[in-house]
């Protein structure tokens, strides 16, 4: 083995050792971070047993609206009953021609 080859082999082994050390330190750091995270977190099982937190909720977006109150809206001599107060107010602010166009488009 020549001196150049021996030097190349030494560089190779030195680099391998350096990489092993870096990887082991990275794994130690990751384990330390996970341990700190687990120390701060509270398990879901503990919350449900100790605090009695409900695990389900219902969004208002998917609930059936209450159609108890209707809002009359008159266009071209016909009365339409709208379920939304905000829609009735918005249509009332439009010009008559635009109200008729919307009426003809949807009804």
Region 38-63 average pLDDT: 73
Region 39-60 average pLDDT: 74
Output the furthest CA–CA distance in the chain (Å, rounded): 106
| Predicted confidence (pLDDT) per residue in 59-79, tens digit | 777 666 666 678 888 888 888
10 domain residue, yes or no: yes
User: 99 and 68, same structural domain?
Assistant: yes
Structural domain tally of the chain?
2
67 domain residue, yes or no: yes
Region 7-31 average pLDDT: 96
| Position 48 confidence tier, pLDDT thresholds 50, 70, 90 | confident
47 domain residue, yes or no: no
Percent of the chain with pLDDT over 70: 82
Range of the domain at 15: 3-41
Distance in angstroms (rounded) separating the CA atoms of residues 42 and 21: 34
């Amino acid at each position: 083995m020549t001196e150049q080859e021996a030097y190349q082999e030494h560089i190779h082994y030195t680099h391998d050792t350096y990489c092993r050390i870096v990887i082991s330190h990275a794994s130690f750091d990751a384990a330390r971070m996970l341990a700190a995270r687990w120390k701060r977190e509270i398990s879901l099982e503990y919350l449900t047993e100790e605090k009695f937190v409900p695990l389900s909720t219902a969004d208002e977006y998917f609930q059936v609206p209450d159609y108890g109150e209707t809002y009359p809206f008159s266009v071209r001599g016909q009365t339409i009953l709208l379920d939304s107060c905000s829609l009735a107010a918005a249509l009332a602010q439009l010009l008559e021609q635009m109200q008729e166009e919307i009426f003809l488009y949807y009804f």
